[in-house]
């Protein structure tokens, strides 16, 4: 995917802010850039894995198959399936965006992709044991269940509202 005008605008703003920061304090800017570089290297393997997964899905699944599981004709089941996948996933939230775009291109419904994106960050099943330890089972499980249900509801709302706003693929 080529860089668009928005990408260049954000890049320009970021470079301008780094230059301003460098003029204010080169040492602090260098420290901040070092921290940012470390974070980038920490998430890079996950992004490579996501793009590898998308590549595999493109080979293994046809748009018809994706649509059969996650298409609008599945009703509430499509966002439910997607919320399960998102809730079980772990990693930086931005890693879900390429997967969501791929699914939309393969005829998944807006409700499913919306539920996937919300549940990826809000449900966080992999952190549930730690959450139970810190907050107790009642709080953690209530939060988990509410986040799961709400991710499905938000997906369904997106599917209903976005077309009214003129959005389409």
What's the pLDDT tens digit per position in 65-109? 988 999 999 999 999 999 999 999 877 888 889 889 999 999 999
Domain boundaries, the chain: 1-57, 61-169
pTM for this model (two decimals):
0.76
169 pLDDT higher than 90: no
4 pLDDT higher than 70: yes
The answer for residues whose C-beta is within 8 angstroms of residue 53's C-beta and 6 or more apart is 99
- The closest alpha carbon to 66, from 100, 24, 94, belongs to 100
Q: Residues 53-72: what's their mean pLDDT?
A: 87
Could you tell me the two tokens for 130? 């730690």
Instruction: Return the minimum-mean-pLDDT range out of 34-38, 49-53, 115-119.
Output: 49-53
Q: pLDDT at position 54, please?
A: 82
Q: pLDDT at position 1, please?
A: 60
The answer for residues whose C-beta is within 8 angstroms of residue 88's C-beta and 6 or more apart is 125, 126
168 pLDDT higher than 80: no
């Amino acid at each position: 995917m080529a860089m668009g005008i928005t990408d260049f605008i954000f890049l320009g703003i970021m470079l301008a802010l780094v230059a301003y920061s460098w003029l204010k304090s080169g040492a602090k800017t260098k420290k901040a850039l070092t921290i940012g570089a470390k974070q980038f290297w920490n998430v890079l393997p996950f992004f490579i894995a996501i793009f590898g997964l998308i590549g595999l899905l493109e080979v293994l699944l046809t748009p018809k198959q994706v649509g059969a599981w996650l298409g609008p004709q599945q009703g509430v089941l499509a966002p439910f399936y997607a919320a399960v996948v998102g809730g079980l996933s772990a990693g930086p939230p931005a890693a879900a965006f390429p997967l969501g775009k791929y699914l939309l291109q393969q005829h998944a419904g807006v409700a499913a992709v919306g539920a996937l994106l919300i549940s990826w960050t809000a449900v966080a099943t992999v952190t549930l044991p730690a959450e139970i330890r810190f907050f107790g089972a009642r709080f953690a499980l209530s939060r988990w269940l509410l986040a799961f249900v709400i991710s499905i509801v938000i997906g369904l709302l997106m599917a209903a509202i976005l077309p009214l706003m003129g959005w389409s693929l």
